[in-house]
Amino acid sequence: MRFELSSITLQVIRNGFCRVTALMAFGLASGSAWAQGAGTVQFAASSYQVTENEGSVSISVMRVRGSAGAISVDYTVTPGTATPLTDYDGASGILVWGDGDSAQKSFDIIIQNDFSIEEEETLFLTLTNPQGGSSIGTLKQTRVEINGDESGALGFTKTAFITSELDGRVEIMVTRGLGATGAILVDYEVLGGGNLSAQQIGGVTHTRRLPDGDEYPDTIQRKFVPGAKASVGNDFIASSGTLSFRDFEMSRTFQVRLVPNSDGKAYPFTMAELVLSNPRAAEGEPESVQPVLDPEFTTATLRINDVVGGPEVDLIWEQEIWPDSTEFEHRRIGFRFGQARYRFSEALGLEDQAGKDEGDGVV
């Protein structure tokens, strides 16, 4: 009886051992097969952060749990709050691994340093269409966050400044309007009007009322008087230099010294050009501090109004001063310069147009 029990026990143990051995063998075979599979592809990180000044961000994709055979996977770029071409440049593409290759694959997204103060912007990258027996892992999508840590876009406060030759000096302001990180420098220069076109310089249209009669077929006459190109020494003192902005400093100014020229030869005004160039980080600042120029305000014009010198010559109509009559019908409807402003003829009974007549000068 004991012998039979022992035989049964031994048989059970042997059968059990065989089953365990079979399971172990199957497990080893399965592990070997898994290790030799095509693998799984997924992003190396669930999110990436980049500032606009960095210029680009590199995205990595891993191949794990196998490297047998050649595989590929598609990736697509989808905007979130970021705008394609304005905030970033990046197209969809394909990543490829060869047989036995398990190295990470990378591609770049170009980040645009635009001219807007913005909150954090986002875009998304997604893996699709695995080939060669591979599969996509848990991290099939990643998020790119673009931070607008700009150092600033530099420019003049306006594209056209106006002053008078009798003002002595004029102050020009440069602003840092699209970011304020880091200490930065920018060069400025005041040039004559040699590079300005006639359209950029412009002029003034004057109007006068003539007495009624056959001698003057037109009761109202108008004449356009063009401005002149300003020259160094005759209209202003040559000026150039460098403006230094401290960290988070938003504006700086420089002055232009004016040369009085009240003989009327530069009537109605002369035009100079203001130019900004070479924006750069101050010494000791990190590489991420990269100021730029605002393309709309890199240059500006400076109009220097001339003051008519003497009553002998009428610079508008090129004749003896007219009219000398006190009759109301003989009045001139034009205006005269003075301290960077125009004034309508007092004969019209109008108030000083201090803030209203800094346009194109047309009545």
- Choice among 16-20, 96-100, 264-268 with the minimum mean pLDDT: 16-20
Residue at which a domain ends, from 116, 147, 178 = 147
Is 212 part of any domain?
yes
pLDDT digits (tens, 9 = 90+) for 201-244: 998 887 776 666 666 565 677 788 888 999 999 999 999 999 99
Same structural domain for residues 82 and 201?
Answer: no
Same structural domain for residues 98 and 193?
Answer: no
Same structural domain for residues 161 and 136?
Answer: no
Is 139 part of any domain?
yes
Same structural domain for residues 292 and 191?
Answer: yes
pLDDT digits (tens, 9 = 90+) for 59-95: 999 999 999 999 999 999 999 999 898 889 988 999 9
pLDDT digits (tens, 9 = 90+) for 190-213: 999 999 999 999 988 877 766 666
pLDDT digits (tens, 9 = 90+) for 309-321: 444 445 565 554 4
Same structural domain for residues 188 and 63?
Answer: no
Token pair listed for 329? 């019908």
Tell me what pLDDT residue 289 has: 85
- Which secondary structure element, helix H or strand E, spans residue 344, and what is its range? strand 341-344
Is 172 part of any domain?
yes
Same structural domain for residues 194 and 297?
Answer: yes
Domain with 127 in it: 40-147
Counted domains in the chain: 2
Residue at which a domain ends, from 147, 180, 207 = 147
Same structural domain for residues 160 and 292?
Answer: yes
Is 27 part of any domain?
no
Q: Are 58 and 108 in contact (CB under 8 A)?
A: yes
Is 363 part of any domain?
no
Same structural domain for residues 46 and 70?
Answer: yes
Is 45 part of any domain?
yes
pLDDT digits (tens, 9 = 90+) for 131-167: 999 999 999 999 999 877 678 889 999 999 999 888 8
The reply to whether the predicted model has a pTM over 0.75 is no
Same structural domain for residues 244 and 300?
Answer: yes
Is 359 part of any domain?
no
Tell me what pLDDT residue 116 has: 58
Residue at which a domain ends, from 105, 121, 147 = 147
Same structural domain for residues 196 and 76?
Answer: no
Output phi, psi for 310, to 5 deg.
Answer: 95, 150
Is 97 part of any domain?
yes
Look up the CATH number of the domain holding residue 293. 2.60.40.2030
Cα separations in angstroms, 57 against 43, 53, 108, 123, 146: 14, 11, 6, 12, 10
- Tokens 């394609």 correspond to 84
Q: How many CA atoms lie within 13 A of 1 on its CB side?
A: 0
Same structural domain for residues 136 and 166?
Answer: no
Peptide bond into 311 cis (omega under 30): no
Peptide bond into 323 cis (omega under 30): yes
Same structural domain for residues 116 and 211?
Answer: no
pLDDT digits (tens, 9 = 90+) for 42-55: 999 999 998 877 78
Strands, DSSP E only, in 182-325?
184-191, 203-209, 220-226, 228-229, 239-245, 251-257, 269-281, 292-293, 299-305, 313-314, 319-320
